[in-house]
């Protein structure tokens, strides 16, 4: 092997390594520089799983995170003794949430995480901190759609493999369901007229409707037809921490911080939660 090919090989290997580390960097970086000032907190930062791509709930904007889930997570972490600089946010995509808790990659998950019995077999839930319901998002000038029973002959969009999509498939098989891999694509298709409605939890729909580029273009129908209780994911068996989270959530609802957080995030689209909110924090941490 000549000298120049050796160098070329080394260079390409280095480039490859750089690419790899760039991919992993977003999740790992924030935690590494907190060791110096960590004497106040109980051993290192708290790792919280959130959504990075859910406007109004959990959204990464540059190095900041915004949304209702983020606000609740920050408040709860504060009550557990972790100030803001001791929180490490980690992306928790829906299909990986249980696995991340089981594998000790995160301590808590606040990510529009519906409490279900199947999930409770693998993890524990604190909460609920919000009661959402499946609803429809339509173009602002469309008055023909008032609920799922008016969808016959219409085109409905949702995310492939999501609970709302499966509910529609089961209960309204005559509706043409288009399934993309993100809701933002559905919103774009709704805007261009290719689909007539978009379905998922009302609070998530409100988050999209509140985005600056869509302001005034869409409205949430306001006729929720399911109950999704958003809880905090806790690794199974950590009852003490789970109960502390419950206490923090109760305090947050009581002292008004919950309402403020809601108004400043998804509330900006004009969305008002139904009367099931604020919920009573009644999960037993089993």
Partner 1 sequence: MERLMQMLSDYNVLAAFWTTIQLTVYGAIGALVLGTIVAVMRVSPVAVFSRAAALWTNVILYTPLTLIAFFFAFGVLIKMNIRLLPEPPATLLDQHFAMGVVAIAVYHSSLVAEALRSGINTVPLGQAEAARALGLGFGQSLREVILPQAFRGAIAPLGSTLIALCKNTTVVATISVTEAAALMKSMIEFYSDLIVPIFVIMVTGFVILTLPLGMFFTWWSKRAAVLR
**String of contacts with partner 1 for each residue 104-143, x by CB under 8 A:** --------------xx-xx---------------------
C-alpha 53/C-alpha 68 separation (Å) is 13
Give the x-and-dash track for 37-76 against partner 1 (CB under 8 A): ----------------------------------------
- Min. distance of Cβ 121 from partner 1 in angstroms? 6
Q: What minimum distance in Å lies between the beta carbon of 286 and partner 1?
A: 16
**CA-to-CA distance for 265 and 276, rounded, in angstroms?**
19
Burial, 3: exposed, middle or buried (Cβ in 10 Å; 0-12, 13-18, 19+)? exposed
The torsion angles phi and psi of 76, rounded to 5 degrees, stand at -65, -45
Query: CB-wise, 149 or 176, nearer to partner 1?
Result: 176
Instruction: Work out the end-to-end distance of the chain between its first and last CA atoms, rounded to an integer number of angstroms.
Output: 63
36 φ/ψ angles, rounded to the nearest 5 degrees: -65, -50
C-beta closer to partner 1: residue 80 or 157: 157
Question: Binding partner 1 by CB under 8 A: which of 31, 78, 155, 236?
Answer: 155
Contact range with partner 1 by CB under 8 A, out of 12-20, 43-51, 158-166, 268-276: 158-166
Name residues contacting partner 1, limited to 240-279 (CB under 8 A): none
Q: Which is nearer to partner 1, 191 or 272 (CB)?
A: 191
Position 185 contacts partner 1 (CB under 8 A): yes
| Between 85 and 179, CB nearer to partner 1 | 179
Q: Phi and psi (nearest 5°) for 32?
A: -80, -25
Nearer to partner 1 (CB atom), residue 116 or residue 144: 116
Query: How would DSSP label each residue in 211-259?
Result: SGGGTTTEEE-----S-EEEEEEEETT-HHHHHHHHHHHHHHHHTTHHH
For 139, list phi and psi in degrees, rounded to 5.
Answer: -65, 145
Q: How many residues bind partner 1 (CB under 8 A)?
A: 27
Smallest gap from Cβ 154 to partner 1, in A, equals 11
CB of 210 to partner 1, least distance (A): 23
* Under 8 Å between Cβ of 145 and 205: no
Q: Which of 171, 181, 254, 263 binds partner 1 (CB under 8 A)?
A: 181
DSSP of 120-157: HTTEEEEEEEEEE-EEEEEETT--S--SGGG-TT-EEE
Q: What is the distance between the alpha carbons of residues 71 and 145, in angstroms, rounded to a whole number?
A: 33
Q: Which is nearer to partner 1, 163 or 259 (CB)?
A: 163
| Contacts with partner 1, residue ranges (CB under 8 A) | 94-95, 98-99, 118-119, 121-122, 155, 160-163, 165-166, 176-181, 185, 188-189, 192, 194-195
């Amino acid at each position: 092997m000549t000298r120049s090919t050796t160098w070329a090989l080394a260079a390409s290997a280095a480039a490859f390594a750089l690419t790899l580390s760039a991919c992993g960097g977003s999740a790992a970086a924030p935690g590494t520089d907190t060791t110096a000032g960590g004497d106040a907190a109980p051993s290192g930062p708290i790792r919280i799983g959130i959504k990075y791509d859910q406007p109004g709930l959990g959204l990464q904007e540059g190095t900041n995170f915004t949304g209702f889930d983020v606000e609740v997570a920050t408040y709860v972490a504060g009550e557990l003794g972790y100030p803001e600089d001791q929180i490490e946010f980690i992306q928790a995509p829906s299909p990986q949430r249980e696995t991340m808790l089981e594998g000790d990659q995160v301590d808590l998950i606040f990510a529009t995480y519906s409490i279900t019995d199947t999930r409770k077999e693998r993890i524990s839930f604190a909460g609920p901190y919000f009661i959402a319901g499946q609803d429809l998002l339509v173009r602002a000038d469309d008055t023909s759609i008032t609920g799922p029973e008016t969808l016959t002959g219409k085109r409905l969009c949702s995310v492939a493999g999501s609970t709302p999509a499966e509910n529609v498939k089961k209960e309204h098989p005559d509706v043409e369901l288009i399934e993309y891999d993100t809701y933002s694509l559905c919103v774009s298709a709704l805007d261009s007229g290719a689909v007539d409605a978009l379905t998922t939890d009302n609070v998530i729909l409100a988050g999209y409707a509140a985005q600056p580029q869509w302001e005034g273009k869409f409205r949430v129908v306001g006729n929720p037809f399911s109950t999704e209780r958003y809880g905090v994911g806790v690794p199974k068996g950590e009852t003490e921490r789970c109960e502390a989270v419950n206490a923090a959530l109760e305090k947050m609802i009581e002292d008004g911080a919950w309402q403020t957080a809601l108004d400043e995030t998804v509330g900006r689209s004009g969305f008002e939660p139904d009367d099931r909110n604020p919920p009573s924090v009644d999960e037993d941490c089993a």
